[in-house]
């Protein structure tokens, strides 16, 4: 291709477009809330709002972890299975008499181990992320079912099971957990060099490598963060439902990926943020919540979610093409 340099007028910087996209998402969320407030009597009740925040919280945390992986142009299909498996591990440890904090720490460490395994499969064995995490998805469910023998383990620690129902400063504790995750995640992705390396690896791993970026370590980091977020959500879910059950959180990986994509993350890598997936998760939670309030058949919720993904990603594509 021929190349000649020409003096051209300044183009709109990209950052402006990103803010525009975030505002659009927030606008969509607010529009949904206003519409549901008008359409239903029960939407703006404290009970429903805290319910909504609880519903959205767990998807939101999964979506943040998923975002790290997707920015490196990978995918983590295992997060739903890790959530279910974590409830089993935690309940099992508690049943065996392990103190609560140690049980939680061990569950999170197990998340780290699963993420490390994913990194190993991708970096050392050269497996595609889709395959290695798909394999984990199915086998973790199997291991969980083996441990519980297909049934559930009850959690008797009341302090723990009350946590998910508790409020702090009038806001559900689960939502505080989103903030607990989101703030360090934001610093990591947007303010630290490790975040920059995620983008660089997702954009062009060879260029990143030749620029001195430790590509392998970056990939390990992304999958460990995603799996650990999922294990953390498993702890929260165990608290919420009070049992350990390997079949919990079925299909949550798709919810997480959908939130991430709605939040402006590109499945081709190198494009994404922390706040986008958070908003995406709460948009999905609002749709589910609103559909329940409006007595819409729950099957329709799935269809609406699908349409929403198509519409939002399509408009995002148009926007990107337009900015060329």
Partner 1 sequence: MTRLEDIAHRHDEASALLTEGSRVPAGTPILELKGLQKNYGYVQALKPATITFLAGEIHAIVGENGAGKSTLIKLLTGVITRTAGEVLWCGHPVALSTPNEAIARGINAVHQEVVLCPHLSVAANLFLGDEVERHGLMRKRQMERMAQSVLDDLGFYLPAAADLGSLTIGQQQLVATARAAMRGTQFLIFDEPTAYLTRQESAQLFKLIRRLQSEGVTIVYISHRMEEVFELADRVSVLRDGTHVGTRAIGETNESELIALMINRSIEQIYHKEDIPIGAPILEARGLSGPGFEDISLTVRAGEIVGLYGLIGAGRSEFALGLYGRHPLSAGEVHWMGRKVKIRNERDAMELGIALAPESRRDQGLCLNLPIGLNINLPVFGRLSRGPVIGRAEEAANADRQIRDLAIKTPSRRVPASSMSGGNQQKIVIGKWLSHGAKLFIFDEPTVGVDVGTKAEIYRLFAKLLKEGAGIILISSYLPEVYELADRLHVFRGGRLVGSHDFHAATHEDVLGEAIGV
Interaction site with partner 1 (CB under 8 A): 1-11, 13-15, 187-188, 191-194, 196-197, 199-200, 203-204, 206-214, 270-271, 324
Compare residues 3 and 96 and give the one whose CB is closer to partner 1.
3
Residues making up the chain, counted from first to last: 324
Pairing mode, strands 243-244 and 167-168 = unpaired
Of 217 and 302, which has the nearer Cβ to partner 1? Answer: 217
CA proximity to 277, closest of 261, 255, 288: 261
* Residue 57 or 224 with smaller CB distance to partner 1: 224
- Round to whole Å and give the CA distance between 72 and 68: 7
Q: How far is the CB of 68 from partner 1 (least distance, A)?
A: 15
Alpha carbon separation from 247 to 46, 84, 140, 213 (Å, rounded): 31, 6, 10, 39
Closest CA to 221 of 203, 199, 253: 199
Stated as kind and residue range, the H or E segment containing 172 is strand 171-172
Nearer Cβ to partner 1 (38/191): 191
192 vs 18: CA distance, rounded Å: 19
CB of 203 to partner 1, least distance (A): 4
Min dist. Cβ of residue 7 to partner 1 (A): 7
DSSP-assigned beta bridge partners for residue 154: 243
Query: Nearest-CA neighbor of 72 among 211, 234, 204, 232?
Result: 204
Neighbours of 217 (CB within 10 A): 14
Q: Which is nearer to partner 1, 8 or 149 (CB)?
A: 8
Minimum CB distance to partner 1, residue 315 (Å):
19
Please report how close the Cβ of residue 148 comes to partner 1 at its closest, in angstroms: 40
Q: Which is nearer to partner 1, 110 or 213 (CB)?
A: 213
The nearest distance, CB 211 to partner 1, in angstroms, is 4
């Amino acid at each position: 291709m021929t190349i000649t340099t020409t003096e051209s007028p300044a183009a709109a910087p990209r950052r402006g477009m990103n803010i525009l996209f975030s505002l659009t998402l927030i606008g969509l969320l607010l529009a949904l809330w206003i519409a549901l407030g008008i359409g239903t009597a029960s939407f703006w009740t404290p009970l429903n709002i805290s319910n909504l925040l609880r519903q959205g919280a767990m998807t939101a945390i999964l979506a943040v972890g998923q975002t790290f992986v997707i920015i490196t142009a990978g995918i983590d299909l295992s997060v739903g299975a890790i959530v279910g498996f974590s409830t089993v591990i935690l309940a099992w440890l508690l049943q065996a008499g392990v103190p609560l904090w140690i049980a939680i720490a061990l569950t999170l460490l197990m998340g780290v181990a699963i993420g490390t395994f994913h990194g190993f499969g991708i970096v050392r064995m050269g497996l595609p992320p889709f395959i290695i995490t798909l394999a984990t998805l199915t086998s973790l469910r199997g291991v969980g079912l083996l441990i519980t023998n297909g049934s559930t383990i009850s959690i008797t620690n009341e302090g723990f099971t009350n946590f998910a129902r508790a409020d702090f400063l009038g806001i559900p504790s689960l939502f505080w957990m989103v903030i607990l995750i989101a703030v360090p995640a934001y610093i990591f992705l947007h303010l630290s060099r490790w975040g920059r390396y995620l983008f660089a690896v997702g954009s062009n791993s060879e260029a990143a490598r030749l620029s001195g970026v430790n590509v392998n370590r970056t990939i390990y980091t992304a999958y460990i963060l995603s799996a650990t977020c999922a294990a953390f959500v498993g702890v929260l879910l165990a608290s919420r439902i009070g049992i350990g059950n390997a079949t919990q959180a079925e299909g949550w990986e798709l919810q997480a990926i959908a939130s991430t994509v709605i939040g402006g993350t590109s499945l081709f890598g190198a494009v994404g943020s922390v706040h986008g997936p958070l908003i995406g998760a709460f948009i999905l939670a609002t749709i589910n919540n609103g559909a329940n309030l409006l007595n819409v058949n729950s099957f329709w919720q799935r269809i609406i979610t699908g349409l929403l993904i198509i519409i939002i990603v399509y408009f995002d594509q148009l926007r990107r093409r337009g900015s060329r």
